[in-house]
């Protein structure tokens, strides 16, 4: 049994050293977390200033409509800019048509927009360019 003032082989100094190490470790973790959040915030602010953060197809269409209206373009003017048939933009906006691999770049290009894919955690991804494989056509 321990008497008053006795310890089990540890001194008060050891406890203070452990507490100091724990505080230093926690401070380092907090600094790393703040640095990470600051970087994420910078990337999100950088892309949010010129674009809309969209997570679904209707949101993409709304962003396209807002951009078209901000540029002061009518739907027929958009059709002329994109080279798509008359009425395409109107059908696209009301949901009768959908953006496909041919129309998406035309619509985005006409509005001066680019598409950026961002993971949910907000950090940017580096996606290498993919070269298209040569496709042989049968004659």
User: How far is 44 from 29, CA to CA, in rounded Å?
Assistant: 22
Dihedral sign for Cα atoms in the order 74, 76, 77, 79: positive
Q: Which of 33, 15, 92, 88 is nearest to 58 (CA)?
A: 92
pLDDT in tens, 8-35: 555 556 778 888 888 888 888 878 877 7
Which value, to the nearest 10 degrees, does the dihedral of the CA atoms of residues 101, 105, 111, 112 take?
Answer: 150
pLDDT in tens, 36-90: 776 666 666 655 544 567 888 998 999 899 989 988 999 999 999 999 999 999 9
Q: Which of 114, 108, 51, 116 is nearest to 81 (CA)?
A: 108
CA separation, residue 113 to residues 8, 17, 67, 88, 133 (Å):
69, 57, 9, 18, 27
Q: Is the pTM of this model over 0.75?
A: no
């Amino acid at each position: 049994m321990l008497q008053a003032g006795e310890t089990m082989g540890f001194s008060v100094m050891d406890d203070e050293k452990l507490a100091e190490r724990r505080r230093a470790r926690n401070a380092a973790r907090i600094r790393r977390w703040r640095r990470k959040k600051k970087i994420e915030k910078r990337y999100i602010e950088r892309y949010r200033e010129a674009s809309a953060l969209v997570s679904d197809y209707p949101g993409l269409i709304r962003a396209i409509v807002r951009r078209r209206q901000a540029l002061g373009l009518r739907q027929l003017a958009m059709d002329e800019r994109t080279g798509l048939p008359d009425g395409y933009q109107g059908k696209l906006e009301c949901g009768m048509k959908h953006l496909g691999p041919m129309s998406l770049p035309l619509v985005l290009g006409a509005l001066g927009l680019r598409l950026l894919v961002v993971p949910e955690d907000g950090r940017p991804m580096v996606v290498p360019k993919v070269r298209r494989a040569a496709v042989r056509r049968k004659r």
